[in-house]
Structure 1
């Protein structure tokens, strides 16, 4: 495991404590080692806490994190506005051990090593027993999170327990099975969930692992484990376990859906936020993804017509359903309010003017400049700049868990066990009500009476797609559901818009990008070539030759 060896030498503690100093230290800062971080005379445990905080930095980043693009560019929900994005290899089949665009192997093993080092050293630091218990629980939670990030990409990976490898240790480890990895991670969550901070944390602890985060991670893991990719036999006990895990979090009574879907993603405190990775205020989401016709805006992300078509109308019916009210000549009118909160379309008001994605418009001028390929730009995660002249700094924290996901997890799992019972309806209607979908005369928020289990499954999957768009759910959902071979073997679509002399528009749907998915191998990532090359005990995932 060459990467693990690199982690051993590359985890310099200088980065954690470079801004600090001790009067007793005589060594140059570049020589500072773990004995000075975990120091029995550091009475406030300042350095140890900074080391733990540094371990949090190994949690997933968000937004344009994968070579400048959203991971969704590897799905049917978006394409990169730039040609040749490596992330698109996930939907074009151009992925191999030598080309893993979202290669998080080294990063997550680095996090695991940091957690293990913290756990092995914290007892020598003179802080309170209570704080040591909490911090150890946090380190074990983070370690569990890092393992899940590995397993959802590669399946079974080597489990190293509490081991901290030295430069001369044998690190040619074999892979554990996916089930062994899941069992280990779930046992860790069970061990620490009641030792962590309470679900609602004080302001100074926002961003720290808490009981809600542990239960949310458990809910997601058990949902993945119950899904067809990991549960081909359809074992209902797995689905029941997933439902129970989501219910455990719901019954805490500490979380609820926020009232403002747009503002949720720029908030630091909100009843819907369970766990997030804090970021300093910035304008990066806006400048990376905003329409190009303004002073600032690189338009990197182009949502597809496929995603646009997934949004229902405001009455909850799909555009193709009888009675939906959809008008092909005015296709963006009367839609689910989450549509305009997620996607910028032609005529969207932004920075004091309408977005122009018609041919020759300010935001789709043609020529060689990078611009939308689909007729759409991303709106989600951005501040409320409809009537502003310029962008301003916003809170763009990475939302790792939020309550809407738990409701969706619960609805999906319960439906698999019991069909569309009241608990399923209640969870989905709560999300639709918050979204702004109207109740209708039957108070069913567009959900047909007499809906079957299979129909409800499709509805839940679509609800998850639009509610969680660009939150790195779709990429993993189409894999765990084993539907990637359907949705990624059909062209991605966009819209061609022509402005008429009278100011009206003509809309034509067209294919804009190919998609290829090999079901014999692409449900898992290939093990990075460097790991195969340097570790004789490392086996490649099926279907990949290198």
Structure 2
């Protein structure tokens, strides 16, 4: 059977592990396997393949108020965002299946590696630690989306799979926390050439920094502020756990020429035999030659501050609706294409993107059926080096900037965000982005509530289109506010558009019911096979 039971029981295809992005689809029998350390490395490579994929990574943006997917692409996330889904939703059922397939693969490694007659002990500890990290990451994803989920670390039988019950979310997250702490010593730091048993060919593997950073993210999800601070301090200016720093250029972080830079802590590996073509759905159709279906919202654009540090609706911001993209946070132009943006296409031609109705040509404007319905396009992760639009660019899950933002948020929640912490975190990020006005860079000296608003806006601007916002709005318990607003696009003057009172296009109404939609339902198929799984509240 597919999904939970097959996800738990299927014998995984094992891949040669000379490079993480070069799978060889050779099947092996269990009896003939587990003879050498190369067998263990190949099995581990199969675990890496199930860390995540581009459909989840980019599709998650549309599960927040940052993005919108038109139609049923990205595994029908638009139905989830609109509150119009049920337990048979494709993304819901596929998430469950995908994560348990990964957990099964990891359990195969941890339960079988002792069968290898001879293996270097340091390498063995590292392989097991990497498999345990990937398994912990899968359980973290399951627990954040579904709450209580089945939990196991052995290779359970068909009958056990049909009768297993769900473990409490708190217990699953406690397991994740303990795993991430326990495996750190067995993982190398990100100085690959200087780490025992590691070389440059191992770039992209799980490091000690990744375990610490994911632990910090878990503590942020649980509002365990001091624990998050402790984790972050293990990475901020602490070379013993990794050599991390902000890159000098924000845009270059996401370029193929600058992969494996030391701002990246944990990313999903692409390249070689593994590529993604997601950019064909988020770039303008004159660039990617395909309908634009994954697009930014006006609400995201509105949250980018002015160069003087003020929000666009704040007194003295200098914002003008007649010239809305001037003097804005530089990260906006590095992330989003708007009316008047320029982009070099795959043929090396410089295109000016026109999105307002009535533009000539109209191919990328809101008038065109295949264009962005909001009048905006995502630009971050555009990869001009892609062959036939298939990009090998790695997708970043956690980077050092996120650690700084987690640190600032946790410090503020404990009332400890002072000028020194500000300078170390928010100011550093804004200076890197290109701010130079004191109103944006100097510590504002305001209260905790105002600082909370600033930090949350900073997270949104810095990490937009990196799949973080959906989790943030849920842990902050504001999803029922921001996801109950319509998806809005650019301001238009009349025409055949549905607009709000201020003239902004209304693309779609959304609904988020509290508490129902804070957890996804257990998929229908799984409950049909196992009546012990139960269901989440109101589903």
Please classify the TM superposition score into its range, dividing by the shorter chain length. Answer: 0.7 to 0.9
Rounded to whole Å, the distance in 2 between the matches of 1:220 and 1:249 is 13
Pick one of 181, 193, 199 that aligns with 2:184.
193
Pick one of 337, 343, 358 that aligns with 2:330.
337
Kindly report which structure 2 residues correspond to 1:297-308, keeping only aligned pairs within 5 A, or say none: 297-308=290-301
Name 2:97's counterpart in structure 1: 106
- Whether contact under 8 Å (2:279, 2:288) holds in the other structure is no
> Which range moves more in the overlay, 293-302 or 319-328?
293-302
Is structure 2 residue 150 aligned with structure 1 residue 150? no
- Whether contact under 8 Å (2:336, 2:379) holds in the other structure is yes
Rounded to whole Å, the distance in 1 between the matches of 2:276 and 2:415 is 45
3-state SS of 1:98 partner? coil
Name 1:382's counterpart in structure 2: 382
Is structure 2 residue 248 aligned with structure 1 residue 259? yes
Name 1:271's counterpart in structure 2: 262
Rounded to whole Å, the distance in 2 between the matches of 1:169 and 1:450 is 57
Name 2:403's counterpart in structure 1: 406
Name 1:38's counterpart in structure 2: 34
Shift of 1:335: 0.8
Pick one of 414, 437, 460 that aligns with 2:455.
460
Is structure 2 residue 324 aligned with structure 1 residue 326? no
> Which range moves more in the overlay, 479-488 or 98-107?
98-107
3-state SS of 2:396 partner? strand
- Whether contact under 8 Å (1:207, 1:276) holds in the other structure is yes
Shift of 1:88: 1.5
Shift of 1:96: 1.8
- Whether contact under 8 Å (1:268, 1:395) holds in the other structure is no
Rounded to whole Å, the distance in 1 between the matches of 2:276 and 2:214 is 29
Pick one of 245, 254, 262 that aligns with 2:231.
245
- Whether contact under 8 Å (2:4, 2:96) holds in the other structure is no
Shift of 1:339: 0.5
Rounded to whole Å, the distance in 2 between the matches of 1:402 and 1:252 is 15
Pick one of 419, 425, 429 that aligns with 1:422.
419
Shift of 1:170: 5.4
Shift of 1:384: 6.6
Shift of 1:324: 2.0
The structure-2 alpha-carbon separation of the partners of 1:114 and 1:286, relative to structure 1 and needing over 3 Å to count, comes to closer
The structure-2 alpha-carbon separation of the partners of 1:83 and 1:216, relative to structure 1 and needing over 3 Å to count, comes to closer
Shift of 1:123: 2.0
Is structure 2 residue 92 aligned with structure 1 residue 95? no
The structure-2 alpha-carbon separation of the partners of 1:84 and 1:56, relative to structure 1 and needing over 3 Å to count, comes to closer
Q: Which has the higher helix share?
A: 2
- Whether contact under 8 Å (1:81, 1:371) holds in the other structure is no
Shift of 1:392: 7.4
Shift of 1:498: 6.6
Name 2:22's counterpart in structure 1: none
TM-score with structure 1 setting the length:
0.85
- Whether contact under 8 Å (1:2, 1:534) holds in the other structure is no
Pick one of 85, 103, 110 that aligns with 1:119.
110
Rounded to whole Å, the distance in 1 between the matches of 2:307 and 2:16 is 52
Name 1:235's counterpart in structure 2: none
Is structure 2 residue 165 aligned with structure 1 residue 174? yes
Deviations 1:23-78 (A, max 9, x none): xxxxxx76x32232212xx3xx222211101111110123x447xx6222222212
Deviations 1:130-184 (A, max 9, x none): 11111111111111111101111111212213x1113454541121111111111
The structure-2 alpha-carbon separation of the partners of 1:353 and 1:124, relative to structure 1 and needing over 3 Å to count, comes to same
Shift of 1:311: 0.3
- Whether contact under 8 Å (1:302, 1:374) holds in the other structure is yes
Rounded to whole Å, the distance in 1 between the matches of 2:140 and 2:455 is 24
Name 1:75's counterpart in structure 2: 64
Is structure 2 residue 533 aligned with structure 1 residue 535? no
- Whether contact under 8 Å (2:264, 2:398) holds in the other structure is yes
Shift of 1:393: 6.8
Rounded to whole Å, the distance in 2 between the matches of 1:526 and 1:394 is 33
Shift of 1:6: 1.2
Deviations 1:86-130 (A, max 9, x none): 212222211221225243112111211211111121123222111
Name 2:497's counterpart in structure 1: none
3-state SS of 2:265 partner? strand
Shift of 1:461: 0.7
Pick one of 317, 324, 343 that aligns with 2:310.
317
> Which range moves more in the overlay, 487-496 or 3-12?
3-12
Shift of 1:356: 1.0
Gaps of 5+ in 2: 19-25, 194-199, 345-349, 495-501
Name 2:52's counterpart in structure 1: 60
The structure-2 alpha-carbon separation of the partners of 1:217 and 1:84, relative to structure 1 and needing over 3 Å to count, comes to closer
Deviations 1:163-208 (A, max 9, x none): 1113454541121111111111111111111111223324211111
- Whether contact under 8 Å (1:521, 1:543) holds in the other structure is yes
Gaps of 5+ in 1: 20-28, 227-237, 500-506
- Whether contact under 8 Å (2:232, 2:403) holds in the other structure is yes
Rounded to whole Å, the distance in 2 between the matches of 1:493 and 1:394 is 29
Rounded to whole Å, the distance in 1 between the matches of 2:276 and 2:518 is 34
- Whether contact under 8 Å (1:262, 1:381) holds in the other structure is no
- Whether contact under 8 Å (2:17, 2:42) holds in the other structure is no
3-state SS of 1:101 partner? helix
Number of residues paired by the alignment? 501
Name 2:499's counterpart in structure 1: none
Deviations 1:450-485 (A, max 9, x none): 311001111111111111111111111111100011
The structure-2 alpha-carbon separation of the partners of 1:93 and 1:531, relative to structure 1 and needing over 3 Å to count, comes to same
RMSD across aligned positions (CA): 2.7
